[in-house]
Amino acid sequence: MAGSQNRDSGKKAVTRAAIAIVIFLAVVLLLFFFATDDFYPWAKAVHVIAVISWMAGMLYLPRLFVYHAQAERGSVQSETFKVMERRLLRGIINPAMVLTWAFGLWLAWKGGWFSAGWLHAKIAAVVLMSAVHGYLAGAVRKFAEDRNEKPARHWRFVNEIPTLLMIVIVILVVVKPF
């Protein structure tokens, strides 16, 4: 029975990932081919809003894990955390990351920034942030299945990683040191 549920869960995850990729590509294609020069400040505004939303979720989710790791498995509190984590990931963090990438790449392309060294470093930091996002998404799945083995202390440490990456990214964008 558990194997069947895991396969169904895996199929749903693949379907969601495929849908997200299609939406991402559609947004990028629409931006690249139909956006005018007047759209640049609006795209920048959407990018900043998406980044703020992504970071809010990336900072909050590990904090939820700290409390969830301390809750008894199967308790009402644990089940509430599962709902909160799933909704935060699917409703805020995932869409915000897709918009951040789509609008960020368009802004870099439209602004002619792809030859700038600071942008290469920023993209590397954003790739690392995306990897942390993937790690947190996997943790949501493990918590949902009551398979988390990490203590609250681990999640306190993980909670700092998005903060450090965000600091690096903001400095690179604002200061453009190279």
Residue with tokens 């789509």: 102
Question: Which domain covers residue 132, as residue numbers?
Answer: 2-175
Side chain identity, residue 149 = E
Arithmetic mean of pLDDT, 40-67: 96
Does residue 35 have a pLDDT over 80? no
**Please, what is the average pLDDT of the chain?**
92
Alpha carbon distance 61, 59 (integer Å): 6
Alpha carbon distance 75, 131 (integer Å): 30
User: pTM of the entire structure?
Assistant: 0.84
pLDDT of residue 19: 86
Q: Rg for the chain (alpha carbons), in Å?
A: 18
Q: Which residues of 60-86 are buried (b: 16+ CB within 10 A; e: fewer)?
A: bbbebbbebbebeeeeeebeebbebbe
| pLDDT, tens only, 72-100 | 999 999 999 999 999 999 999 999 999 99
What helix, strand, coil percent values describe the chain, rounded to 5?
Answer: 85, 0, 15
Number of domains into which the chain is organized: 1
